[in-house]
Amino acid sequence: MDEVVFLSGLLAAGIRLAAPIALAAIGETLSQRVGVINVGIEGIMLVGAFIAVLLAVQSGSPWIGLLGAILAGIAMASLHAYFVVTLKTEQIVTGIALLFLGLGLSGYGYRLTLGELGAAVKVPGFRELDILGLADLPVIGPILFGQHALVYLAVASAIAMAWMFRATRLGVIIKAVGETPAAADSAGIHVDRVRFLCVLAAGGFAGAGGAFLSTAHLWGFVENMTAGRGFLAIACVVFARWNPVLAVLVALVFGIADAAQIRLQSIFPAVPYQFFVIAPYVVAIVSLAVGSRSSRMPAALGLPFAKPR
């Protein structure tokens, strides 16, 4: 029975750790499907995490914090969109700039505002839900019914996005813009407008992922608290072959790897803990090496679209 409890706890923790990665990965899937790679989502997540804490403290509601984080994510993404879609700059370089901008803005902003108050700040964070009072069920309770609201929202939006890609004309348009923008253009679609809006939406998801980190997973902001999760999200997108539901599942694998390494540290105290900390990143590298062989990325990914003269 001990093993079952251990596994149940591991899974529940894995889901908590996976949620911010999953949220960012859902957004990045949308962005890449439309042909824009954003390697700066790490920076967007950091700004989201900071804004969520700031607004939650000031308003007393984590929901206000979440809303602020989403809007901040959209604002950051609009910068990316303006550069890569409108000015047609190199997407990777612009994304890296965005990463450092987010890193600096969030760290500096925190020191200017809440950091001065020291550790005394009390952050009103999200609590796990208890759906239908079933969270106390043995084993499956904490996994299925005792998660944060954002976890359910993430799963729902991934499924909604998959449905959108498959069944709606909007999905067809997005796929066409990321695959053959010239064809979309000749069909009367404003390629750059579609790209711009999708990049904004992706920013909102990354902001929400940051908010989850600082108001649900932990209650507080620490500089560079994302620790590479934005990049793991990009790995999820590629490994999941640009499918939002698969991206959530891959994020779950990373999350479980992360949860496992924390537990393994206490089981094997003799092994230096750094070996365990790298576990999720090793999983990411191995999975990319194995998975990328058969994956086919959107044909116009990373390429700006120039209308014929």
Partner 1 sequence: MTETGSVPLVALRGVTKRFGDVVANRAVDLEIGRGEVIALVGENGAGKSTIVNMLSGVFPPDEGTIEIDGAATGFTGPAASVEAGIGVVHQHYMLVPTLTALDNIALQASELGLWKIDRRALGDRAGAVAEALGFRFDRDQRIDSLDVAHQQRIEIIKALIHEVRLLVLDEPTAVLGADDKARLFDTISGLKRQGVSVVLITHKLEDIFAVADRAVILRNGAVAADLPVKDLSPETIVTHMVGSDAEARSELEIQPETVHPEHPVGEAVCRVRDVTLRRPNGSVAVSGLSLDLHAGEIVAVAGVDGNGQSEFVHCLAGLQRPDEGEIDCLGLNSRARTWSPARLRRAGVSHIPEDRRHSGIVAEMTLAKNYLLSHLDRPDVFRLGLLRNHHLGQVVDGLLNAFKVRAPGSGALMKTLSGGNQQKIVLARELDGDPKLILATHPSRGLDLNTIAFVHKTLEQTRDAGKAILLLSSDIDEILKIADRIIVFAGGRTFGPAPCRDLTRQTIGAWIAGHEDIEA
Interface residues toward partner 1, by CB under 8 A: 167-170, 172-173, 175-176, 179-180, 182-189, 299, 307-309
Which is nearer to partner 1, 187 or 271 (by Cβ)?
187
Nearest distance from C-beta of residue 183 to partner 1, angstroms: 4
Measured from the CB atom, is 103 or 200 closer to partner 1?
A: 200
E-assigned strand segments in 235-299: none
- Of 10, 300, 34, 20, which is closest to residue 193 (Cα–Cα)? 34
Q: How many CA atoms, within 13 angstroms, populate the side-chain half-sphere of residue 261?
A: 18
What's the min distance (Å) between Cβ of 301 and partner 1?
12
Name 282's Cβ contacts closer than 8 Å, sequence gap at least 6. none
Nearest Cα residue to 153 out of 205, 201, 197, 198: 205
Q: Which is nearer to partner 1, 111 or 307 (CB)?
A: 307
Return the number of the residue (134 or 183) whose C-beta is nearest partner 1: 183
Q: Say how far apart CA 36 and CA 47 lie, in whole Å.
A: 20
Q: How far is the CB of 308 from partner 1 (least distance, A)?
A: 6
Give CA–CA dist 66/53, Å, rounded.
Answer: 9
Neighbours of 201 (CB within 10 A): 19
Shortest distance (Å) from residue 184 CB to partner 1: 7
Q: HSE of 3 in the Cβ direction (CA atoms, 13 Å)?
A: 0
Shortest reach from residue 121's CB to partner 1, in Å: 44
Give the separation between CA 256 and CA 259, rounded to whole angstroms: 5
Judged by beta carbon, residue 186 or residue 224, the one nearer partner 1 is 186
- Nearest-approach distance from CB 175 to partner 1, in angstroms: 6
Pick the closer one to partner 1 by CB: 187 or 286: 187
Using the minimum distance from each CB to partner 1, give the nearer residue, 55 or 176.
176
Over the Cα atoms of the chain, what is R_g? 20
Instruction: Tell me how far, at minimum, the Cβ of 170 lies from partner 1, in Å.
Output: 4
Show the 3-state SS of 16-67: HHHHHHHHHHHHHHHHHHCCCCCCCHHHHHHHHHHHHHHHHHHHCCHHHHHH
Measured at the CA of 60, the angle between CA 14 and CA 202, to 5 degrees, comes to: 50
